[in-house]
Amino acid sequence: MADSEFLSTRQAAQRLGVSLGTVQNMVESGVLDAWKTAGGHRRIPASSVDSLLAKRRKQIARPGDATGQLDILIAEDDPTLQKLYQMTFDSWKLPLSLRIVGDGFEGLLQVGQQMPDILIADLMMPGMDGFEMIRRLRAMPELTSMDIIVVSAIDADEIRQRDMPGDVTVFGKPIPFHEIKGFVLGRLASRQRT
């Protein structure tokens, strides 16, 4: 096969609009196919990257429409709060699909596999925190239709001073479920109008 059929980790990162580390983790988690050269360098089939991009474009074009459900991704590292989110969202009996991850890196992977309608993120998480995850997501123009809600114990003014994008909704802890439910209901209503 010709060299142009394979990409280096750097080339794949540029094509996907993510960092080198994200591509390496995508390879290790099986999201991208790859093999290593005798010198230990990863080679990623261009077709694997193009397939992921096509899948992302398809999901971004009509997120959640196939099931009629609103897809919500929650990035929260506290197991107790993860359970609280799950129980509360289940009790609403709304057409929702809920995914929960424990850190920003896993959040990026989940968005790469399927863009949610709404991302709800904590900011202080191990590994990649919420600030870094949100900056990376907002750097991708194809993800602008995804709503992002931050729920954090950090003061809202401090959050804004740390370059939080202006289109991100910020709530303090304890988790304001009534506010989040209103946001979700608004998003469901707007989907029904389209």
pLDDT digits (tens, 9 = 90+) for 169-189: 999 999 999 999 999 998 888
CA dist 126 → 72, 161, 192 (Å):
21, 21, 37
Return mean pLDDT, the chain.
86
So where are the chain's domains? 3-59, 63-193
pLDDT of residue 1: 46
Closest CA to 76 of 162, 180, 184: 180
CA dist 78 → 26, 30, 104, 127, 151 (Å):
24, 26, 13, 14, 12
Cα(first)–Cα(last) distance of the chain, in Å? 46
CATH no. for 3-59: 1.10.1660.10
Closest CA to 181 of 159, 149, 134: 149
pTM of this prediction exceeds 0.85 = no
CATH no. for 63-193: 3.40.50.2300
| pLDDT tens readout for residues 128-154 | 889 999 999 998 888 988 999 999 999
